[in-house]
Amino acid sequence: MKRVLITGATGFIGSFLLKNLLDSSYQIAIIVRKESSFKRIIESLERVQIIYSDYTNFDESESEILKFDPEIVYHLGWAGVDNTMHNNENILNVNIQSTLSLVNIILKGNVKTFIGLGSQAEYGPCNCVISEKQQTNPTTLYGIAKLTAYNIMNYNFRQNNIRFVWLRLFSSYGPADNENWLIPYLIKSLSEGVTPELTKGEQIWDYIYIDDVVSAIVSCGENDKTIGIYNLGSGTGYQLKSVIQNIRDIINPAMSLVFGTKSYAQNQIMVLQADNTKLRLDTGWNPSVQLSEGLESTVTWFLNNK
């Protein structure tokens, strides 16, 4: 049984990854902080080893991590994922420090494969379909921290022959997603009969359903040929207006929407779409959940779990 260590398992994506990996024959340990909410993974807890640690002090868990002796690490944990924290200096420091201390611990063990979650934010505004060849030019501290984390890990893991995959994720969505993202916000407003504040909605956005995100992450973990940076997105650009109308139609087709009550952000990105060719070719993975199907499941979950 291969030993797998997961960080961020209590988070949106990590919780789905944990459930997926528990269905395979892995021995799993997760790193969580004492104050973490286990609500997303409550039914999985008795099947995993829990290592308690805050990222501000990863070193406290060093001996336990080394004792578990992971062969594969899925590193999804990150402080301040949501938009409101994207220019917070303290959060930047926490993530860089935690990256450095996690790398130091990993180098003392026998890890063969390390899969990390990066972000499209590392590329910065490009208003185009983005391939891995796109120059990185992050304009938020979040994007800068992700890119720095990538560089730290890439440098160290290459030197030590650890297979390192860095998945630059675009916008994911699904059941139990964090409530401040657009899709959960819309579901909440519309289901409460509140008219949401909307821009004109002309942006083209790449939305990928959580099951497709997780199957891509796992296929990189299991496929020894994958290495380096991959874009993780559906590869399809959806106009936000149609995504919003789709959600409205699921919840209450009679409700009218007013587009343009909210101004675009300064330097608003109008096109954010992944070229996922490299990932598809190297793994055989393909996104399989249609947007309408994914939105239906997401709305249903939120309505049943208010």
Q: Which residues bind ligand NAP (CB under 6 A)?
A: 8, 10-14, 33, 36-37, 54-56, 76-79, 81, 94, 117, 119, 169, 171-172, 178
Whole-number CA gyration radius for the chain: 19
Nearer to ligand NAP by Cβ, of 259 and 301: the residue is: 301
Closest distance to ligand NAP from the beta carbon of 209 (Å): 11
When CB distances to ligand NAP are compared, the closest residue is 11
In the complex, the smallest distance separating the C-beta of residue 121 from ligand NAP, rounded to whole angstroms, is 7
In the complex, the smallest distance separating the C-beta of residue 96 from ligand NAP, rounded to whole angstroms, is 12
Provide CB contacts within 8 A for 209, sequence distance 6+: 172, 173, 174, 234, 287, 289, 291, 293, 294, 297
- Which residue, 110 or 123, is less far from ligand NAP as judged by CB? 123
Question: CB of residue 137 vs ligand NAP: minimum separation in angstroms?
Answer: 17
Nearer to ligand NAP, 66 or 176 (CB): 176
- Residue 15 token pair: 């919780």
> CA–CA separation, 256 vs 274, rounded Å?
31
To which residue do tokens 């399989």 refer?
288
- The CA distance from 131 to 252, in Å, is 37
CA dihedral of 112, 114, 115, 119, whole degrees rounded to 10: -150
Shortest spacing between CB 189 and ligand NAP, in angstroms: 20
| Cβ closest to ligand NAP, residue 11 vs residue 221 | 11
Distance of alpha carbon 41 from alpha carbon 15, whole angstroms:
6
**Of 168 and 248, which CB lies nearer to ligand NAP in the complex structure?**
168
**Closest approach of Cβ 93 to ligand NAP, in Å?**
11
Choice between 217 and 251, CB closer to ligand NAP: 217
